[in-house]
Amino acid sequence: MEQVLQLFRTLHRTRQQVFKNDPRALEAARLKINEEFKKNRKETSPEKVAELMKIGHDVEVLLRTSVIQGIHTDSNTIKLRPRKEVLLDNVPFCDTTQRKS
């Protein structure tokens, strides 16, 4: 039970970071998290609980590492505000084979 509560808290903390300064997205995410936990709160099967926990952890990782916030600056422009978690090292792509000397 403690792990479920910890996941619930973690999802809400991640929601607050990912959707910072976006009240509509913050509220929608809050409602969805709460709805999913309420819908499954009477689940007693250890296998099903483990499956739901895995889904919850996957969602948290996806939110934290893949969602980028965009802000409309005018009618034709969106300013992206990536967090450090979504920035990856830029590795150059080379589509030709390299010869070993």
Mean local confidence (pLDDT), 89-97: 63
Mean local confidence (pLDDT), 12-32: 94
Task: Tell me which of 4 and 89 has the higher pLDDT.
Answer: 4
Task: Tell me which of 95 and 57 has the higher pLDDT.
Answer: 57
pLDDT score for 83: 81
Residue 76 has pLDDT above 70, yes or no: yes
Residues 6 or more apart whose Cβ sits within 8 Å of residue 74: none
24-74 confidence digits (pLDDT tens): 999 999 999 999 999 999 999 999 999 999 999 999 999 988 888 888 888
